[in-house]
């Protein structure tokens, strides 16, 4: 049993406030998990290495020193417990910080996102400005940490989150960090999943003291839950005698769904599953439909998105869809073919990296797609298609 998946299997999705509370519990050295400073020190190790043109080497050096200091503590006590203070939903007038950690002359403010749909433009700037107005933080260094979701093992961040982070400017004594929930292949960007992996590996190797059994099980369950994108159990597969999700109200064909104006449609493997169906299957398949809110539920999509994608697959004109997410190469090829220069594919190393790959390597890859070129790693759709055509990938 995975208690996190059980909680996420209700009518509503797993809430970001729940995720923040769980993370804060693990980060706090005095909670009953028995980890002491271990999780906090590993967390600092994940964020200390991030580097870009806006971050000075002196900042990295200072944060490295702090991480090293905590690494030696593990479950031991710091000289003064009052040096560390942690709180949830900290009000800074202009906004609310999900998690705040004050340690010595540092303030670590974590803005947590677990779903792409919860993106809020300009949120980081509001939070940073609010932190700067706090008298208690006047002589402290502020580290604003953007914790976001990403496709497992992705090479680039989702467009909206990347733009929000890159657009934030901080004062000379302060800096910012980006970290993801899921494991990633983004250069110098850590992840909570890697923090958990490191703690479990360190216990197995004897680097740290044995972890209490309930804490070990909690970490493993959380790791699986994160990897599954915070989704609950798929009750429609085993628990329902009808073979349907318990919230399913009807099984309808495409012609019936075209007449619906609201609700959600369930498709095996979600958008990628729908885009891999041929025209006859799209028309004849009976889809699960519900009027319940299935936002952020795995394999479900709003009715308007379903209708646009299905009609596109059936030969209609290119729909007005703001593409965002991680998809296999064959689906990205289809998107790039029709959307051309209006979409971008995020590939670590950009065009040069794609050119160096073999056809078989490309077929087995998944990448992020967006509607703006976030960095040099993002390739226009028409160029992506051109390279794949030259290699005769599809």
Same domain, 299 and 357: no
Quote the DSSP letter at residue 91: E
Q: Considering 261, 291, 317, which residue would you say is the last residue of a domain?
A: 317
Domain ranges, residue 274: 235-317
Which CA distances in Å does 315 have to 52, 259, 279, 308? 44, 19, 9, 11
Classified as helix, coil or strand, 262 is coil
**One-letter-per-residue 3-state SS of 18-58:** HHHHHHHHHHCCCCCCCCCCHHHHHHHHHHHCCCCCCCCHH
Same domain, 178 and 114: yes
How many angstroms separate the CA atoms of 325 and 267, rounded? 17
Same domain, 8 and 113: yes
Same domain, 156 and 275: no
pLDDT at 316 (0 to 100): 93
Number of domains in the chain: 3
Burial class (CB in 10 A: 0-12, 13-18, 19+), 186: buried
Same domain, 165 and 21: yes
Same domain, 358 and 258: no
Same domain, 94 and 48: yes
What are the structure tokens assigned to 51, written together? 């580097």
Which H helix or E strand runs over 150?
A: none
Same domain, 188 and 247: no
pLDDT < 70 regions, the chain: 10-13, 49-60, 71-82, 234-246
Is the pTM of the predicted complex or chain greater than 0.95? no
């Amino acid at each position: 049993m995975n208690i996190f998946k059980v909680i996420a299997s209700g009518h509503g999705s797993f809430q970001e406030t729940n995720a923040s509370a769980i993370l804060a519990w693990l980060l706090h050295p005095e909670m009953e998990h028995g980890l002491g400073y271990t999780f906090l020190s590993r967390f600092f190790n994940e964020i200390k290495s991030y580097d870009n043109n806006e971050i000075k080497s002196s900042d990295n050096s200072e944060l490295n020193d702090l991480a090293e200091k905590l690494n030696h503590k593990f479950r031991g006590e710091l000289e003064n417990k009052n040096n560390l203070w942690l709180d949830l939903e900290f009000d800074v007038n202009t906004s609310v910080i999900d998690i705040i950690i004050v340690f010595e002359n540092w303030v670590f403010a974590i803005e947590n996102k677990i779903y792409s749909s919860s993106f809020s433009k300009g949120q980081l700037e509001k939070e940073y400005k609010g932190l700067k107005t706090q008298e208690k933080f006047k002589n402290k260094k502020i580290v604003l940490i953007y914790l976001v979701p990403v496709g497992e093992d992705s090479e680039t961040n989702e467009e909206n989150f990347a733009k929000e982070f890159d657009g934030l400017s901080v004062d000379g004594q302060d800096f910012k960090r980006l970290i993801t929930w899921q494991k990633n292949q983004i250069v110098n960007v850590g992840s909570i999943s890697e923090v958990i992996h490191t703690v479990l590996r360190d216990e197995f190797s004897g680097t740290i003291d044995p972890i209490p059994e309930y804490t070990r099980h909690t970490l493993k369950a959380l790791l699986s839950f994160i990897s599954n994108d915070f989704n609950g159990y798929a009750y429609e597969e085993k628990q329902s005698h009808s073979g349907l999700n318990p919230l399913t109200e009807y099984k309808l064909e495409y012609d019936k769904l075209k007449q619906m104006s609201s609700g959600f449609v369930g498709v095996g493997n979600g958008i990628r599953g729908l885009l891999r169906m041929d025209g006859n299957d799209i028309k004849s398949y009976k889809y699960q439909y519900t009027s319940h809110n299935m936002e952020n539920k795995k394999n479900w999509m709003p009715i308007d998105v379903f209708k646009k994608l299905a009609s596109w697959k059936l030969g209609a004109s290119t729909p007005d869809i703001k593409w965002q997410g991680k998809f296999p190469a064959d689906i990205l090829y289809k998107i790039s073919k029709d959307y051309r220069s209006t979409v971008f594919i995020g590939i670590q190393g950009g065009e040069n990296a794609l050119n160096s790959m073999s056809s078989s390597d490309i077929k087995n890859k998944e990448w992020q797609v967006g509607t703006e070129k976030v960095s040099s790693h993002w390739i226009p759709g028409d160029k992506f298609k051109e390279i794949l055509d030259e290699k005769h990938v599809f």
